[in-house]
Amino acid sequence: EPEVTQTPSHQVTQMGQEVILRCVPISNHLYFYWYRQILGQKVEFLVSFYNNEISEKSEIFDDQFSVERPDGSNFTLKIRSTKLEDSAMYFCASRGAGPKTGELFFGEGSRLTVL
Amino acid sequence: KQEVTQIPAALSVPEGENLVLNCSFTDSAIYNLQWFRQDPGKGLTSLLLIQSSQREQTSGRLNASLDKSSGRSTLYIAASQPGDSATYLCAVIKAAGNKLTFGGGTRVLVKP
CB contact under 8 A, A106 and B91: no
Question: Among A78, A108, A20, A39, which residue's Cα sits nearest to residue B38?
Answer: A108
**A27/A3 Cα distance (integer angstroms):** 9
pLDDT at A103: 86
> How do beta strands B62-67 and B56-59 pair?
antiparallel
pLDDT at B96: 64
* Residues in chain A within 8 Å Cβ distance of B46: 103-106
On the question of pLDDT at A98 being above 70, the answer is no
Closest-CA distance, B91 to chain A, in angstroms, reads 9
B46 to each of A51, A80, B90, how far by Cα in Å?
Answer: 24, 31, 10
CB contact under 8 A, B102 and A43: yes
B105 to each of A9, A49, A73, B35, how far by Cα in Å?
Answer: 23, 26, 31, 10
Contacts of A62 (CB under 8 A, 6+ apart): none
Element (H, E) at B90: strand B86-93
Tell me the residues of chain A between 47 and 66 that have a Cβ less than 8 Å away from chain B: 48, 50, 55-56, 58
* Closest Cβ opposite residue B31 in set A48, A58, A102: A102
On the question of pLDDT at B97 being above 80, the answer is no
Buried b (16+ CB within 10 A) or exposed e, A15-43: eeeebebbbbbbeebbbbbbbbbeeeebb
- pLDDT tens per residue, range B20-61: 999 999 998 888 999 999 999 889 999 999 988 899 999 999
CB contact under 8 A, B91 and A35: no
Q: Which one of A4, A94, A101, A103 would you mutate to disrupt binding with B, by most B Cβ within 10 Å of its Cβ?
A: A103
* Closest Cβ opposite residue B34 in set A31, A91, A103: A103
- pLDDT tens per residue, range A80-90: 999 999 999 99
- pLDDT tens per residue, range A45-74: 999 998 889 999 999 999 999 999 988 789
pLDDT at B85: 97
* Residues in chain A within 8 Å Cβ distance of B97: 31, 48, 50, 55
- pLDDT tens per residue, range A4-60: 999 999 999 999 999 999 999 998 888 999 999 999 899 999 999 988 899 999 999
Closest-CA distance, A108 to chain B, in angstroms, reads 4
